Amino acid sequence: MEQNYASPLTVTEANFDRAVLQSETPVLVDFSAAWCGPCRAIAPVIDALAVDYGGRLTVATVDIDDNPGLANRYRIRSVPTVMLMSGGEIRRVLVGARAPREYRESIEDLLH
């Protein structure tokens, strides 16, 4: 599965394991919903991260309403929830809208 680094990869229950858990690069997964105001607020930040970290980090989005199985599997209780994963393991979870700096610092920690 090839990611267009200009935008996040849309991930579903059908392709999550392959796209996220088996990814050769670390993954930022943005669990969100269309009705969520804070999710819409951080969407440009998530888009920018996909561009800025292209090739070093896979940036993926999961709509929890369209993929309730993933929301249950990862115990998503609030959106947005951003998970940083590597090697199929959760490395960091950021719940709620955060400053862009927090996402970048978490990504840098994951990549180094």
Residue 17 annotated as catalytic: no
- Of the candidates 9, 36, 62, 82, the residue annotated as catalytic is 36
Confidence band, pLDDT 50/70/90 cuts, at residue 1: very low
Quote the pTM value: 0.93
Residue-wise burial string across 46-85, b where 16 or more C-beta atoms lie within 10 A, e elsewhere: bbebbeebeeebbbbbbbbeebeebbeebebeebbbbbbb
Query: What's the pLDDT band for 4 if we cut at 50, 70, 90?
Result: low
Q: What is the pLDDT of residues 32-91, one digit of tens each?
A: 999 999 999 999 999 999 999 999 999 999 999 999 999 999 999 999 999 999 999 999
36 in active site = yes
* Structural domains of the chain, with CATH: 9-111 (3.40.30.10)
Summarize pLDDT for 87-108 with one digit per residue, the tens: 999 999 999 999 999 999 999 9
Instruction: Place 7 in a pLDDT band, splitting at 50, 70 and 90.
Output: confident
Q: Which of 39, 60, 79, 85 is catalytic?
A: 39
